[in-house]
Amino acid sequence: MILTDAEILVEIDRGTIVIQPYRLDCLGSNSYDVHLAAALATYTSPVLDAREHNEIEHFSIPEEGFVLRPDMLYLGVTEEYTETHKHVPFLEGKSSVGRLGIDIHATAGKGDVGFCNTWTLEISVKQPVRVYAGMPIGQLIYFVVKGDCINPYATKSSAKYNTRTVKPVESMMFKNYDETAGRWK
């Protein structure tokens, strides 16, 4: 079950959903619009290795915008910091963004109960397109969960993306590989 606008407001009042900054005009009938922050990043190596810490280079979108290229993966981040304590948040692209040929995530659209942070975006494009800081980029949809969550994301010892940030965060997949055991966790 997806929360409606009225239910999202109830959960914000209860403190089970936190959105900062919050703007009423960004609340849709069953979603909340999030915006592209000025911070972008790209990987420094042309070949990525899932067992290694792949470094990224951060940069800012200038006022005149920035042209994304189809041959690159960009990491972006939402302006909004969110907390979701009783629901499963899903981040989906806005249809207007999709119609520009922009994908905002490859596989990471679902958050976890207890996720508290900005959202790193895995941005790719079908053709060159100019983007701007502050533009609407996606929408959060909140799903009701059944039962209590035993292990919310914010308290998991294995959670890799808990540190609050205003910049995109690179893949931490390398932390899933146990060098000693020679296997993936």
Enter the pTM of the model. 0.93
Integer distance in angstroms from the first to the last C-alpha of the chain? 32
8 A C-beta contact, residue 55 and residue 32: no
Q: What is the pLDDT tens value at each position of the chain, 185 positions in all?
A: 999 999 999 999 999 999 999 999 999 999 999 999 999 999 999 999 999 999 999 999 999 999 999 999 999 999 999 999 999 999 999 999 999 999 999 777 888 999 999 999 999 999 999 999 999 999 999 999 999 888 888 887 778 888 888 999 999 999 998 888 989 98
Rounded alpha-carbon distances, angstroms, from residue 161 to 111, 171, 185: 11, 9, 16
SS3 165: coil
Q: Is the peptide bond before 70 cis (omega within 30 degrees of 0)?
A: no
Domain topology for 5-44+55-150: Deoxyuridine 5'-Triphosphate Nucleotidohydrolase; Chain A (2.70.40)
Amino acid letter, residue 103 = D
Other C-beta atoms closer than 10 Å to the C-beta of 160 total: 13
The three-point CA angle 109-42-128 to 5° equals 80
7 annotated active-site: no
Q: Which of 57, 83, 122, 179 is catalytic?
A: 122
